[in-house]
Chain A
């Protein structure tokens, strides 16, 4: 963000506590001092208007990055994002556009309870006109965020809270972009393909290392971008292994896994050697607080290992 704000003076950030506090997760640490309060706007606690004002500013030539403090508080913005931002280009027949990014820390495993743990990607990914991105590694986060900021359409940029501290990785200082809508094969393999994104990528990698000791070769595809999905990569990997597992933390019914599975069923059915499997969050309305309860919700590497083993022997 810092690089993009330095590069393009139309880019600015707005949100709650992003000024002197530097954001509750310190994403804008030092921005206030460096760019000043005009471009680092501490907003009132009013989510709908954070999205609505960013939208209006984007239509009028700026490139706002609006932060929703926690994705759990994004619901008041639904009207502005799904009802408005997504439709601006279509509803003006191309005469207006919304180059804005909505950043939102999401996801569980952080003892956040019902209101600080949720996954919200599906709500937005259902909506044509929006792009939805969920990076899993620091490298991808930088490249995808830069691409999102430069994109001409509204992007929902979801950052898994647990990856902020848990995951470390190389981030080059130099300029690079990661294209939106392109999945990334994070591990190559032959027996089973696992499609995943966000924090779950790391559990999948761990699971793959475990089953490798049993001689099962796993290919892991990090979707990275949930809308648009990278159908090409999805289909080619599914065809290659013929066995597909989809892992996400979000709940199962009508989730990202359902869509990925449908794409494969529609376009690569004859290449499959087994039914498609999903490991996902369970069908409760939100992630509970107590560790014992939260653990029931969060998919982990053990559950993924079991699913991979079942597929391998199918």
Chain B
């Protein structure tokens, strides 16, 4: 194996700073420009990306077999999701994710078993007891919240989480993930404005896959980038190549450092590709060009990182094969395990409507 501490170069164009930087922001940027993710860490991220992709492909297949009711695939988003999560402190920082963020969960250490319980809505599902769609609910051990299917709704909530961190004197950062579609929602504006006013420790992380189901960017906004809006709120805005884990990591690490130092929020726009239809219920041939998809596939974050690691001598064919085998083994095992489980017990149906049972004093 090559030098595990090898720092891989970031492509110059991969990060674009949008807003006019304040003095503190510039110094932060400079400090972290050298703080590139090391080779060993990248290798580990690659391993997790392989696992996430394997889970993703499996649940999509289970959907086609009628065993998973709905799947929103993260394929094409993995570098953005993993790179950002890796730059934060799992267990300390707060993660407000949305339905497409499978690779955030895998990156934070959730297992294939835990995740697949959700896709098959089986007993013991850890985030909502399978009351919700896959990946939804809460997972306090890792400070993960993903309540809503109402696009954009999580943004003010994440801001509230950051407000609480600030008021409680905690050094935690909140990261709020959302799509390009969510950027149009009023709550996005309200949340960002408040966060900027109070310089809250939050990172707004937009996974721009250029579609809100079928509606392309050109019909969602009249400006070139979502990050350009940051300036209008008085916060920092950054566009990164979201298919490349390194600049994503770097931009997130910078944003987190800025947030922890009291410098306020950053809006990171990670430009990604969505390889599959919006969800398993969608037919993207109705609105998406085959050529466009083919072109997008050339920027597959897994291929990109694999090549980079191979070139750097960090990843070998042998390790690669081992990662694939290991991921397949874990996912096979999870599939069998989950399939054999029952659905949740309806006896719990009425639990957790209120903190206390009706009639009981709550005081």
* Chain A residues with a Cβ under 8 A of chain B: 12, 38-39, 43-44, 46, 48-49, 51-62, 64, 76, 79-80, 83-84, 87-97, 128-129, 131, 147, 150-153, 177, 179-181, 228
Interface residues in B156-212 (C-beta closer than 8 Å to A): 156-165, 167-168, 186-187, 190-191, 193-194, 197
Q: In the assembly, what is the distance between CA of A14 and CA of B358, in Å?
A: 29
How many A-B contacts are there with CB distance less than 8 Å?
158
Which of A49, A88, A91, A151 contacts B156 (CB under 8 A)? A49
Q: Establish whether residues A52 and B137, one from each chain, have CB atoms under 8 Å apart when the complex forms.
A: no
Return the chain A residue nearest B358 by Cβ.
A228
Q: CB distance A49 to B161 under 8 Å? A: no
Whether B262 is near chain A, meaning CB under 8 Å from some CB there, is no
B129 at the A interface (CB under 8 A): yes
Q: A61 CA to B165 CA in the complex, in Å?
A: 9
Instruction: A12 to B137: give the CA distance in the assembly, Å.
Output: 26
B356 located at the interface, meaning its Cβ lies under 8 Å from any Cβ of chain A in the complex: yes
Q: Can you identify 24 A-B contacts, CB atoms within 8 angstroms? A: A44-B193, A44-B197, A48-B186, A52-B159, A56-B158, A56-B160, A59-B145, A61-B168, A62-B168, A79-B150, A79-B153, A80-B156, A89-B352, A89-B354, A91-B131, A91-B132, A92-B138, A92-B145, A129-B353, A129-B354, A150-B362, A151-B355, A152-B356, A179-B363
B122-145 vs A, Cβ < 8 Å mask (1 yes, 0 no): 000001110110001111100001
A181–B356 Cα distance when bound, in Å, is: 12
CB distance from A113 to the nearest CB of B (A): 25
Map CB proximity to A onto B282-299 as digits: 1 under 8 Å, 0 otherwise. Answer: 000000000000000000
Q: How far is it, in angstroms, between the C-alpha of A43 and the C-alpha of B239 when the chains are bound?
A: 29
- A153–B358 Cα distance when bound, in Å, is 12
Which residues of B are found within 8 Å of A93, using beta-carbon distances? 127-129, 131, 137, 351-352
Cα distance A92–B359 in the bound complex, in angstroms:
23
Chain A residues within an 8 Å CB radius of B137:
91-93, 95-96
Q: Would you call B164 and A94 a contact (CB within 8 A)?
A: no
Report if A58-B160 is in contact (Cβ < 8 Å); known contacts: A90-B131, A92-B128.
yes
Which A residues touch B161, using CB under 8 A? Answer: 56-57, 59-60
What's the nearest-Cβ distance from chain B to residue A46, in Å?
A: 4
Distance in angstroms from B25 CB to nearest chain A CB is 23
Contacting residue for B190 out of A49, A147, A180, A181, CB 8 A: A49
Q: Are B160 and A55 in contact (CB under 8 A)?
A: yes
The residue on A at minimum CB distance from B94 is A60
B361: interface (CB < 8 Å): yes
Interface presence of B148 (CB below 8 A): yes
- Min CB distance A91 to B, Å, is 5
Instruction: Give every chain B residue within 8 A of A129 (Cβ-Cβ).
Output: 353-354
CB-based contact A91/B128 at 8 Å: yes
Residues of B that sit less than 8 Å from A by CB: 94, 127-129, 131-132, 136-140, 145, 147-148, 150, 153, 155-165, 167-168, 186-187, 190-191, 193-194, 197, 351-356, 358-359, 361-363
B155, B164, B165, B168: the one within 8 Å of A52 (CB): B155
A90 with B353: in contact, given A48-B186, A58-B160, A79-B153 (CB under 8 Å)? yes
Contacts beyond the supplied A12-B167, A49-B187, A52-B153: 11 A-B pairs with Cβ under 8 Å:
A44-B194, A49-B194, A51-B156, A52-B190, A52-B191, A55-B156, A60-B160, A83-B153, A89-B355, A91-B147, A153-B354
Cβ-closest chain A residue relative to B159: A53
Interchain CB contact under 8 A, A147 and B164: no
A64 vs B162: C-alpha distance in the bound complex, in angstroms? 14
Which of B140, B148, B150 is in CB contact (< 8 Å) with A96? B140
A89 with B190: CB separation less than 8 A:
no
Whole-angstrom CA separation of A152 from B356 in the bound complex: 9
Distance of B354 from chain A, by nearest CB (Å): 5
Which B residues are in CB contact (< 8 Å) with A150? 362-363
CB distance B191 to A53 under 8 Å?
yes
A14: nearest residue on chain B (CB-CB)?
Answer: B163
Decide: B147 and A88 in contact? CB cutoff 8 A.
Answer: yes
- Give chain A residues whose Cβ lies under 8 Å from the Cβ of B139: 95
CB-based nearest B residue for A228: B358
Question: Distance (Å) between the CB of A196 and the closest chain B CB?
Answer: 23
Of all chain A residues, the one with the shortest Cβ separation from B132 is A91
Residue from the list A44, A52, A58, A97 in contact with B187, Cβ < 8 A: A52
- Nearest residue (CB) in A for B168 is A61
The smallest C-beta distance from A67 to any residue of chain B, in angstroms, reads: 15
Q: In whole angstroms, what is the CA distance A87 to B353 when docked?
A: 8
| Complex-state Cα separation, A79 to B149, whole angstroms | 11
Chain A residues with CB under 8 Å of B155's CB are 52
Chain A neighbourhood of B351, CB < 8 A: 93-94
Bound-complex Cα distance A94 to B126 (A): 11
Q: How far is the CA of A58 from the CA of B128 in the complex (A)?
A: 19
Is the Cβ of B355 less than 8 Å from the Cβ of A152? yes
Closest CB in chain A relative to B179 CB, distance in Å: 17
A46 to B187 Cα, complex, angstroms: 9
Q: Bound complex: CA of A205 vs CA of B300, how far in Å?
A: 73
A92 touches B147 (CB 8 A): yes
CA distance A224 to B137 in the complex (A): 33
Question: Given the complex of chains A and B, what is the CA–CA distance between A84 and B362 in angstroms?
Answer: 21
Residues of B within 8 A of A95 (CB): 137-140
A230, chain B: closest CB distance, angstroms: 10
Residues of B within 8 A of A60 (CB): 94, 160-161, 164-165, 168
A12 to B147, CA, bound (A): 24
Contact B160 A59 (CB under 8 A): yes
Cβ of B186: which chain A residues have Cβ within 8 Å of it?
48, 76
Does B127 lie within 8 Å of A92, measured CB to CB?
yes
> Chain A contacts of B145 at CB under 8 A?
59, 92, 96
Cα distance A61–B147 in the bound complex, in angstroms: 17
Contacts A87-B147, A153-B355 given; does A56 touch B157 at CB 8 Å: yes
Per the bound structure, the CA–CA distance linking A55 and B162 in Å amounts to 12
Query: Within the complex, what minimum Cβ distance (angstroms) separates B62 from chain A?
Result: 23
